Structure formats: C-alpha cells, structure tokens
Structure 1
Amino acid sequence: MKHILLFVFLAFFGYSANAQFLNTAGDIDHERLNFGFLLGIDRGSFTVVKQRDFSTPGSNPFSPDTLQAIKPMGSMGFSLGLLANLKLNRHFDLRFTPKFSFIDRQLEYQYNKASDNKILLKTVESTFLELPLLLKFKSERQNDVRLYVVGGVKFVTDIRSKKKKADDISYNPDDDRKLVKINNSFLALEAGLGADIYLEYFKFSPELKLSHSMNNIMKSGEDNIITHPLAGLFAEALHFTMYFE
C-alpha cells in the first residue's frame, strides 16, 4: 500500500508547474464525451457492528465457547471495467464507470476455551458488478497534469447470486463458507482523488478512492454460529484505479 501512495504522490507533484503544455492526449479536452477503460487493485473489508452481549458467556446458543472478539480482515482483489466521461463545464465532469470487482472479505472470530484460544476465519466470497455515477471536480492544468477530486454513489450487485441460490438447495451445515451471507444488491458512497496525466495520444489517470455501503448488507433471517453475534455488516473498500482515456 505504501508503494501505491508513493505512486499517487509522484503523479500529483512530479511535474513542474511552470513548464509549457506538452501533450494534448489526442485533444481530449475538446471532446464533450469520451470513453476509456480501467484497471484496479482493491482492498475490501467490513465495518462490523456487534451485538451488545456478543462476548457474554452462553449468549450464543450455537456454541458453548465464549466469543472474545470479531475482527474484519482486509483482503486484496482486482477490478476491470469501462469509462464514459461527460464534460459539463471547465471544471466538472460526470463519470459513469461500470466494472467487475473480484474481492473476498473475511471475518476473524476469536473464541476462548478452557485450555486455549480458538481462532476461526470466515470468508465471504463475492463477484460484484458495480455501477458508479460520479461527479469529478478538476483543477487548472499545470504542465501535463491536472489534479481532481471525485465523489458519488454506486449500485452494487453480486453476479454470483444465482450460484448462491443453487448452493442453498444443496446446503451442507458443515460448510462454513455458507454461514455468512450478504444482500445480493446494495448502494454505496464513493469519494477520492486523482491526477490526469496527459500523454501524446491518451490520458492516464491514477486514482485513490474509498467506498462504504450506505446500509447494513448482512442478509436478514440467517441465524447461525457466525451471524448470531452480529448486529450488522457494512462493506468498505480502498480502490487504486488506473484509467486510460
């Protein structure tokens, strides 16, 4: 992650502000509507909301052990997609960036037993189709670089939902992977910053962005050893995305 932040920092400040414009990226700034594609590296996790009595001995009817802690564990993934950018005026663009995101999120459960500590790691597997609609505010161009901030909302749906339904039909209670379920679709907020770097024939834009689901995404009606101590789960992610326009 340090290398990613360093790359973004260099992209922001690695060019002289006093030099003359060198590249036009194919005169992209004169186009009302332009397109591109994106590649991303993502780190997904959960914000965990626990029941008040989650650590009370005997509070979980599915386990005789006492739960000490529930910790979200970050997991790396990747994304790829397309970009449609509509120029509103000199400083504002409207961006639609549909993409496929492949991220697994994990939860670590720490139980206390009479003789030792027991740690269980549960993985929530997802393949998301994300449909973000974002507003981009751009600074004045300095040399071949223009800085920007971006924010908006996205609709997220799990394209593995049909497979999950098939899995439910053949449910095996000993299969821990099926004990944590999230809603098939939800809304999330996104905000971040980036830099447009103008090259001779195209524009390259590294971007760092955070996202957080607006509502609890844990599926209701699922009560088992893993979900009983939970009051809610919120999906969060750190996205490092490279746009090519």
Structure 2
Amino acid sequence: MLKRLLLFGIFVASLSLQAQKEKLLKLPSFDKPLFHYGFYLGVNNNGYKVSYKPSDYNNAEIEVESSIGFNVGLIADLRLHNNINLRFEPGLMSNTKTLHFKHINDAENVKTREVGATYLHLPLILKLSTNRLNNMRPYVLGGFSYDHNFSSNERNSDDNFAGEFRTTTSNFMYEVGIGVDFYLSYFKFSPSIRGVFAINNEVKYDNKTPSQWTDPIDFLGTRGIFLHLAFE
C-alpha cells in the first residue's frame, strides 16, 4: 500500500506542475453553482485498532492482517462559501481482515478468524479549499459518518464457540484527508488521501464467558487509509 501511495503522490505532483503551468482556465464557472454532483471510486486498506482490558487471559495479543478493499459512491456538494463546501458522499466500503489470536495456545481452538466488512458509508464532509491557482485547487477535509455493516453477524446466535466472530451493525466514524482539485476540459478530477477512524467499539462479545476471543478486548474499531478518486 505504501508503494501505491508513493506512486499516487508522484502522479499528483506531476499533475500539479502541469496545472500550474497552464494559463488557460478550464471550467472557469465550475464552482459558481450552489449545487453540483459527481461520483467516486477508490481503494482502502482498513484494519482494526485493538485495546485490551484485564481478563482471565494474560498477555492477550490480537494481530490484525488487512487486505486491500474498494470504495464506490456518489457525491452531492453544497457550496457554503467560495472556499467552503458541505458534501454528502454515500457509498459502499468493503474489505476483509484476518484476526490472529496469538494468546490462544489450546490446539483444539482455532487461532484465526476472517472478518469481512461491507459498510454502507454515509459521511457528511466539510471541505476547505484554497483559492484556485490556474487549473488546480488544494483542499483539506473532515467529517463524520454513520456506517451500516451488512456483514456484522450481530444478530447471529452463533459466536466464536461456533466459529463466528461478530461485530456491531451500526457504527460511527470520523475521517480526515487532503487532496487537490484538477480542472480538466470536461470535468473536475479530485484525488485525495483520507484516514477513517471508528468512534464506537465494534466488537460483539461472545454469549459465554470466559471467551478467549472477545473477553480480553476493551475496544476494537476500524482504522484505515483510503485513496479517493472523485469525478465531478
């Protein structure tokens, strides 16, 4: 993922240099309407932050292995000011994590769980942009989202004793990011890099206790980074 982000940074830098040299303004009236719309595509590398609490299991350790997932969605943008926009970006965010329970030494119990997550991602984003420089415009953004996890298994009566690691269905997250608007001939291309962070605890504790899988967990929440490519 680091290599991909490095290549993305080089790509954005080259576009920035080209945009700064360009004197002819493209889409000069793009930012004047009160509303505009678009869509986005992206990839994510989301894992979990895990913190622990005292339990019957000393030296609990859960290693999180994440995989590359995807993001896709729509954009509705409301101009509040020349440099401030309020955006609603509903979409889907999906990936898979593998949890390795390194403190489990019992050969009869499985030490790994694969946790799939497909979120209906409903973020409300405040975007703060600089003044336009030729055909580019850097920005920062931040906001909060409600995320509905279709893969949570929260209502499943089976827990880890039956092979199911459960998470919560309803979640709240915040995200921050930086990016650049590039005004092209027919549309605006806006790549950004964002971080997403869960606010609530996403673990659904096992029905029985003691549980080697969930008893040691005090907090388990999504932490990740994603590349967001917007077309407006």
TM-score by length of 1: 0.81
Shift of 1:104: 1.7
Give the secondary structure class of the aligned counterpart of 1:192.
strand
How much is the aligned-residue C-alpha RMSD, in angstroms? 2.7
Q: Percent identity?
A: 28
SS at match of 2:185: coil
Aligned to 1:59: none
Do 1:15 and 1:145's aligned partners in 2 also have CA atoms closer than 8 Å? no
1:241 maps to 2:228? yes
For 1:80-91, what aligned pairs fall within 5 Å after superposition? 80-91=72-83
CA distance in 2, matches of 1:220, 1:119: 17
The answer to whether residue 208 in structure 2 is matched with residue 207 in structure 1 is no
Q: Which deviations, in whole Å up to 9, do the C-alpha atoms of 1:101-157 show, x marking residues without a partner?
A: 11222221224759x9x9832122221101000000111222211111010100111
Letter in 1 for 2:216: P
Equivalence for 2:36: 34
Contact 1:108 1:119 (8 Å CA) reproduced? no
- d(CA) in 2 for partners of 1:217 and 1:132? 18
Larger Rg belongs to: 1
Count of residues in correspondence between the two structures: 226
Query: Shift of residue 71 of structure 1?
Result: 1.4
Tell me the equivalent position of 1:226: 213
Q: Which amino acid aligns with 1:235?
A: T
Q: Which amino acid aligns with 2:47?
A: S
Deviations 1:58-99 (A, max 9, x none): xxxxxxxxx663212222110111000111111111010000
Change (3 A) 1:174 1:218: closer
Moved more, 218-227 or 43-52: 218-227
Matched, 1:192 2:182: no
In 1, are the aligned partners of 2:62 and 2:103 still within 8 Å (CA)?
A: no
Secondary structure of the equivalent of 1:15?
helix
Cα deviation, residue 14, structure 1: 3.1
Q: Does 1:136 align with 2:123?
A: no
Give the TM-score of the pair, scaled to structure 2: 0.85
Q: Is the 8 A contact 1:101 1:128 kept in 2?
A: yes
1:156 is the counterpart of 2:147:
yes
Query: Gaps spanning 5+ residues in structure 1: where?
Result: 57-66
Contact 1:8–1:194 under 8 Å retained in 2: no
Of 4, 24, 27, the residue aligned with 2:27 is 24
Distance verdict in 2 for CA 1:164–1:230, change over 3 Å: closer
Amino acid aligned to 1:152: G
Structure-1 residue corresponding to 2:89: 97
Partner-residue secondary structure (3-state), 1:28: coil
Relative to structure 1, the CA distance from residue 189 to residue 50 in structure 2 (aligned partners, 3 Å threshold; closer, same or farther) is same
Paired with 1:237 and 1:227, the residues of 2 have a C-alpha distance of: 22
